Amino acid sequence: MSRAASSKRGGENAESAVIQRHPELEYVADTEARHYDARVSELLCPSPMLPFVGLCVLEVGTVVEIKSAMAVYGQSQRRGRFQLRRKQHQRLVDEAGVYLFAVCEPRPERSVIAAKVVPATSVSSLVFSWIDTGDRADYAQLAWSRIFDESEVRRGSP
């Protein structure tokens, strides 16, 4: 399996784990919306398992893009990175959407260690620049340490 296919499968596994863990979220197929993965179907409040940044609640209908990164990767055991796509990010900002960031075990099943909800508008300030490769959509990378304190990932979610 190619690295890209493995990464995509790992992301899908993490997305599924997050949606199963939080029944207030409903899956949204790519055929319905390509710029987000889920929608809030019941009022969603922060908890020790899912803290929020700058929000008190997520109302029904809020769009949620789930981004996952491995806690570490490669032989050097570098911190994982979330990859954001520029057009997708702008649509989330326009729709007052949120990111649900998940840090996962570095295994194919991608067990979630820690998760956090951050408004897309707040994430804008974390992106220093967008990378233009010419042949793919512009993207930015954020190390999980830009979103999570190291202690949150070390101890994991309760």
Nearest Cα neighbor of 39 from 51, 52, 56, 26 is 26
Q: Is residue 154 part of a domain?
A: no
Q: Is residue 63 within 8 Å of residue 97, measured between CB atoms?
A: yes
Number of other residues whose CB lies within 10 A of the CB of residue 83? 15
SS3 of residue 115 by DSSP: strand
The rounded distance, in Å, linking the Cα atoms of 47 and 62 is 18
Number of domains in the chain: 1
Q: Could you list the residue range(s) of the whole structural domain that residue 136 is in?
A: 3-147
Q: Give the model confidence (pLDDT) of 76-111 as tens digits.
A: 678 889 999 999 999 999 999 999 999 998 776 668
Q: Is residue 156 part of a domain?
A: no
Report phi then psi at 19, rounded to 5.
-65, -40
Q: What is the pTM of this model?
A: 0.89
Q: Is residue 152 part of a domain?
A: no
CATH of the domain at 124: 3.40.1350
Q: What is the pLDDT of residue 158?
A: 42
Q: Is residue 110 part of a domain?
A: yes
The rounded distance, in Å, linking the Cα atoms of 116 and 77 is 22
Q: What is the pLDDT of residue 48?
A: 93
Tell me the average confidence (pLDDT) per consecutive run of 10 residues in the chain, 158 residues long.
Answer: 61 88 93 89 96 96 95 78 94 96 80 94 90 86 93 69
